[in-house]
Amino acid sequence: MQRTNIRQIPLLLLVLTVLAGGSIAADGQFTISSKALKEDRIISVSLPEDYESGERKYPVLYVLDGEWVFDYAVGTVKFLSNDVAGRIPKMIVVGVPNTDRARDLSVTLQKGAGYVNFLKFLETELKPLVEKRYRTNGFDVIYGWSSGGGVAGHFFASNPSVFDGYIESGSGVGRRSSKFYS
């Protein structure tokens, strides 16, 4: 069994940040009816090329802002995990789109802020469903860019055991959000 090495995450971060990609089709989509968000979300999934040919279990990369950066993340994972590069393990990529970005990705100190429900959705609804539907190995990474990076960073600061790796790229961390990290 191939172990996931957390030291490989910076390489994934670098390539996710700088790699320009084209359109890459998702292997599938499913709809999840969220009680935390009180809405349905269409989730995109890309499986490793050899997923159907065996019983191997895979790590999962959860990509926030899935409607914008899912294709880039899939391209990066496929490039870094191919037989030539082999820098990271093959993994399942899950794209989480936004329906209300300001509500879900604005990390604030206000009580009842929408991002709290979004975090609950990720932890208690989406992750368990992905683990049930796909062969996962229990190593989960969350990737957020811009405001999604702020959410990933807040997840790390407030509840680091939810994911095994956190990639925060181009986040809106500033003076107002520094209170979350102190």
Q: What percent of the chain has pLDDT over 90?
A: 33
52 contact partners, CB below 8 Å, separation of at least 6? none
Whether the per-residue pLDDT at 16 is higher than 50: the answer is yes
pLDDT at 25 over 70: no
**In the predicted model, what is the mean pLDDT of residues 42-71?**
91
Structural domains for the chain: 6-171 (3.40.50.1820)
Report d(CA 39, CA 33) in Å as an integer.
6
Higher pLDDT, 9 or 112: 9
CB 79 within 8 Å of CB 15:
yes
Q: What band does 13 get if pLDDT is binned at 50, 70 and 90?
A: low
